[in-house]
Amino acid sequence: MHVEAIVRSGDRPTVLIDPDPNQRAELVRLCPEAITASTPAQVGDAFDVAVVAAPDLHHRDLTVALLEAGKDLLVEKPMAPNRTEARAMVDAADRSGRVLAVAHVRRHLSVKAWAFDLLGSGALGAVKSVDVAQGGRNDWLAATSDYVEQAAGGVIADQGSHSLDLLTWWFGPMDVVACSDDARGGHEANASLDLVAGSVPIHVELSRISAKRNTIKVEAERGVLEVSLDHYQHRQLVASPTGVDAPPFEEVVQDLAGQFDRQWAAFKSALDGRWPSTLATGPDGAAIAAILEDCYEVRTTQEVWWMRSATERR
């Protein structure tokens, strides 16, 4: 998706790097003029900007090394699995003076920036509560087991980081109140989170195996604002209070590729010194890493429904 967005923009990658020769061959089909390598060290002089889309647990080492080599970076989410690794990445960016952005691509669905401006304007009045439901059946096949074995976590770190990023973007720093999931020693497929942003309670339901409504619902003093989490819903703006002084939102057709296009354009703006609000910064990514760490530290077991007794299921 990243390579395709870069090519659609009119830019051309000079280097394609992957330790798996089959993956490199697949990338070369998209950009045949690029040279290939298995590690960045082999071609360090051939590029000055990079997209880090390796498995999560490699982000810190790759990012720190590339920043120290003077490269500007767009790093896939989640940026890191914990505070320590995220801080090392941010510190490396500060020392090097290079750009470090995080690829929270769902910020680039048009309704997200519109909602950010609306919430920031105060037109809705005080926010009373926020409810998020995100889920769908993840039945696609990964190319290797690394997607699971080298991931920062299950649905909380993977899909949940999208919602957690949007929430911190809109409402500021959040603290974890409670977390329950069905990991039972592995990666979780279902999770329930309770957080608080200032005095605003936030509830998040996540699933990799069951469908959810896939929206963020904000209950505010002057009504309910509900927006789509992704591009699959029929409408990006599901509900908005009437009589509120706000610019109208114009629905547009915007698939996932379009979001990657907008993300690449935003990243290029940051390289030019014009950082758009839709592009997550290194500290933004570090805030999500801290929330992930806290969730996994306090989580309790959420038994899957078919393992509960008949009494518990009533």
Q: What CATH number has the domain bearing residue 199?
A: 3.30.360.10
- In this prediction, residues 3-9 reach a mean pLDDT of 95
Do 177 and 291 fall within a single domain? Answer: yes
Written as six digits, the tokens of 290 are: 């801290």
313 domain-assigned: no
Residues 189 and 295 both lie in one domain? yes
Q: Are residues 92 and 183 in the same domain?
A: no
Quick: pLDDT tens for 192-202. 999 999 999 99
Asked whether residue 188 is domain-assigned, the answer is yes
Same domain, 97 and 145: no
Residue 273 domain flag:
no
**Residue positions counted in the chain:** 314
HSE-CB for 180 with a 13 A CA cutoff: 6
The pTM of the whole model exceeds 0.85? yes
pLDDT of residue 313: 47
Can you give the residue range of the structural domain that contains 76? 2-105
* Residue 24 covered by a domain: yes
List Cα–Cα distances, 78 to 30, 258, 285, in angstroms.
25, 21, 7
User: What gap in Å lies between CA 217 and CA 164, rounded to an integer?
Assistant: 14
CATH number at residue 23: 3.40.50.720
Give the percent of the chain with pLDDT over 90.
Answer: 80
- Chain Cα centroid distance, residue 120: 21
Q: How many separate domains does the chain show? A: 2
Are residue 138 and residue 203 in the same domain, yes or no? Answer: yes
Which among 14-23, 26-35, 247-256, 266-275 has the top mean pLDDT? Answer: 266-275
Residue 33 confidence (pLDDT) above 80: yes
For residues 314 and 173, which has the higher predicted lDDT (pLDDT)? 173
Check residue 225 and give its pLDDT: 97
Residue 266 lies in a domain: no
Given 85, 105, 125, the domain boundary residue is 105
Give the residue from 162, 182, 164 showing the smallest Cα distance to 173: 164
What is the pLDDT at residue 47? 95
What pLDDT is attached to residue 307? 55
* Same structural domain, 94 and 207: no
Predicted confidence (pLDDT) per residue in 175-215, tens digit:
999 999 999 888 999 999 999 999 999 999 999 999 999 99
Mean pLDDT for the stretch of residues 90-97:
98
Find the mean pLDDT for residues 83-98: 98
**pLDDT over threshold 90, residue 273:** yes
pLDDT at 253: 83
Q: Which residues contact 224 (CB under 8 A, 6 or more apart)?
A: 217, 218, 239, 241
Higher pLDDT, 305 or 152: 152
* The domain boundary residue, chosen from 105, 133, 152: 105
* End-to-end CA separation in angstroms for the chain: 44
Q: Are 244 and 123 in contact (CB under 8 A)?
A: yes
Q: How much of the chain, in percent, has pLDDT values that exceed 70? A: 96
The answer on 65 and 185 residing in a single domain is no
Which of the listed residues 52, 77, 105 is the one where a domain comes to its end? 105
Q: Is residue 262 part of a domain?
A: no
64 band by pLDDT with thresholds 50, 70 and 90: very high
Taking every pair of Cα atoms in the chain, the longest distance, rounded to a whole number of angstroms, is: 65
Whether the CB-CB separation of 135 and 163 falls below 8 Å is answered with: no
